[in-house]
Structure 1
């Protein structure tokens, strides 16, 4: 049984200044993450700007990541679309390109019931023979996967995990408690990684791992060794950079910080490309802390 676990970077999609996919830098980031000791690669998540990419661009990102990875780590691809039909199509294409697992966000913009969420995921799971990690981020999608719905979905063999980015720790606890380990629960909030692990979660799909993958890996490794105090110290060290995320679009903030660290990932795609002068100053100050 495929088990999502450890630190899985929610990789950015590097772009040139004219907003074309930067293949060279994307390949470099794959190798950088592998060298940092992460436990998987996740392309086309929120940090990967899946919402801003065409179908052809999404397939290109998947192709590049799987090709450069060369089987070294499990590759997760975000294939969730608004409709079940489009999600199935993209998921099948991702399977052809060699991904190991799918991350599927809830339908967004359209309001759906819990029964419709269940039917949506069930139909996809039956159509695509790959492990599926559900993605819950209600503040962006308007739809929340309730724990009772997760209980039902956990009975489907290839639904193996859920990334919870609700920011509500009690919501994540209910996922862990009510599924009794039948699905892996991963934190999508970088401030809750250690809390999730201590409560029975299996790891994190992390946006901040784009910046400091070694720090995120250290949290997981210290937790594995039982050094909870050490893990708490490392977890707390994320606060300065996390505090900058509220100063703009988080994707733009992460990309700006990466550029300042010397990684040529370019801007986020417009309209979310800009970073204010105030945010820029805060990012620079935060990065000084990590030096």
Structure 2
């Protein structure tokens, strides 16, 4: 079972958009030392939509090798083509990933039955633990709890990252799915309340910049320690808002660049963070202790 603060890791890039291998290695050490509970490699925050399939597979393989079994690595292998998702998931399994994260197919807007058949096909094709990912704000499709419940009965579909953005959806999934099914949130703004309500953890954007604080907040919330979780949230909570003033991962890559952790590279059609948001994000980073 995966739990706690699982970082949706950015893919660092040089100014020309090529993957920055040295910065990737440094980011991984940053997270291991800070107590991050798992790394999600090349999820949607990792710009999976603009990496080629060979690049995608290579970054997953590099991450697994650099982590070297110190913490779990979950490979982002979702796609809006079932065949492509199977290929990426197969490559992640061969590379030694601990699990795969599969986003709902975007743009083509499958029906609930289409979603079920898509994930069922991947589960049957590749023998690796698989985590579903529902993020309707980015994909234009919302996988309903009843569909997730059906999928939870498949042996190697072990959980869901739910980014619907409401604690009520988290509760619905916990109630609907099989008993050992893992429900984690993918919405930092509601993560604390979701874990206090029974979620197993948070696959987090905010953890990119404050990994130790997110680890400690998640640990407290999962244990039911509201007071400790709230005291940490009071310092870092502005980041949950200010890292989303423009489309993810634009703000978080800017923040990491401001912190000196990565270069400024980002791939079109995404562009660098607009200057009007620099001051507010800088203030949030300073409040959280990520910048002096």
Q: State the TM-score, normalizing by the size of structure 1.
A: 0.95
Retained in 1: the 8 A contact 2:236–2:288? no
CA-based RMSD of the aligned residues comes to 1.4
Residue in structure 2 matched with residue 92 of structure 1 by the alignment: 90
| Aligned pairs (5 A) from 1:51-130 | 51-130=49-128
1:265 to partner: Cα distance: 4.0
- The 1:141/1:147 distance shift into structure 2, 3 A limit, reads same
**1:190 maps to which of 175, 188, 191:** 188
Which 5+ residue runs of structure 1 have no aligned equivalent? none
Structure 2 residue 218 is matched with structure 1 residue 220: yes
Q: Aligned to 1:150, what secondary structure does the other structure show?
A: helix
1:247 to partner: Cα distance: 2.4
Residue in structure 2 matched with residue 229 of structure 1 by the alignment: 227
Retained in 2: the 8 A contact 1:252–1:267? no
Q: Aligned to 2:283, what secondary structure does the other structure show?
A: helix
Residue in structure 2 matched with residue 46 of structure 1 by the alignment: 44
Which 5+ residue runs of structure 2 have no aligned equivalent? none
1:128-167 Cα distance to aligned partner (Å, 9 max, x none): 1000000000111111111111111011000001001111
Q: Aligned to 1:52, what secondary structure does the other structure show?
A: coil
Whole-Å separation in 1 of the counterparts to 2:272 and 2:4: 32
1:94 to partner: Cα distance: 1.0
Whole-Å separation in 1 of the counterparts to 2:196 and 2:187: 15
1:90 to partner: Cα distance: 1.1
Retained in 1: the 8 A contact 2:15–2:263? no
Residue in structure 2 matched with residue 150 of structure 1 by the alignment: 148
**1:251 maps to which of 249, 252, 256:** 249
1:195-226 Cα distance to aligned partner (Å, 9 max, x none): 11121110010011000001101112323554
Whole-Å separation in 1 of the counterparts to 2:263 and 2:198: 34
Retained in 1: the 8 A contact 2:201–2:222? no
1:89-126 Cα distance to aligned partner (Å, 9 max, x none): 11111111111100000111102111111111111101
Q: State the TM-score, normalizing by the size of structure 2.
A: 0.95
| Aligned pairs (5 A) from 1:202-217 | 202-217=200-215
Structure 2 residue 256 is matched with structure 1 residue 241: no
Equivalenced residues, count: 289
Higher alpha-carbon deviation: 220-229 or 278-287: 220-229
Q: Aligned to 1:134, what secondary structure does the other structure show?
A: strand
Residue in structure 2 matched with residue 166 of structure 1 by the alignment: 164
Q: Aligned to 1:51, what secondary structure does the other structure show?
A: coil
